[in-house]
């Protein structure tokens, strides 16, 4: 009976260690997917022309994240992908801010007056 308990405990511990080992690759992959989606959205909005520096840096950080994941440096890959995502979201926000008319300028413009009859 004690042998079965030991075997069951070993199997349980092996499964637990296997699950914990998979956390790094899963987290980094999820973050890279989110960064890639944010970059696609920024490019679709035209951020490559309006905000080229954050877009380029985000692309390079994401490329480096893929490289680090290939070396099994999952924490580094996760951080690089997270930084890329933030930059891509910032680039998209820059495009949105530049496309929206400033409310202050619209409020300050005088209304066109009609000529008196």
Tell me: the pLDDT tens digits for 49-98?
Answer: 999 999 999 999 999 999 999 999 999 999 999 999 999 999 999 999 99
Tell me the C-alpha distance between 95 and 92, whole Å. Answer: 5
Asked whether the beta carbons of 28 and 81 are under 8 A apart, the reply is yes
Taking the whole predicted model, whether its pTM rises above 0.75 is answered as no
Tell me the C-alpha distance between 85 and 57, whole Å. Answer: 10
Cα dihedral 90, 93, 98, 101 sign: negative
Tell me: the pLDDT tens digits for 19-54?
Answer: 555 578 899 999 999 999 999 999 999 999 999 999
């Amino acid at each position: 009976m004690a042998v079965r308990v030991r075997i069951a405990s070993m199997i349980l511990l092996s499964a637990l260690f296997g699950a914990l080992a998979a956390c790094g690759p899963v987290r980094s992959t999820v973050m890279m997917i989110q960064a890639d989606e944010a970059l696609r959205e920024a490019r679709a909005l035209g951020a490559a022309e309006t905000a080229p520096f954050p877009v380029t840096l985000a692309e390079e950080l994401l490329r480096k994240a893929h490289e680090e994941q290939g070396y099994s440096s999952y924490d580094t890959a996760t951080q690089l992908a997270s930084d890329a995502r933030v930059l891509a979201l910032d680039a998209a926000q820059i495009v949105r801010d530049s496309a929206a008319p400033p409310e202050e300028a619209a409020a300050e413009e005088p209304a066109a007056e009609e000529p008196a009859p």
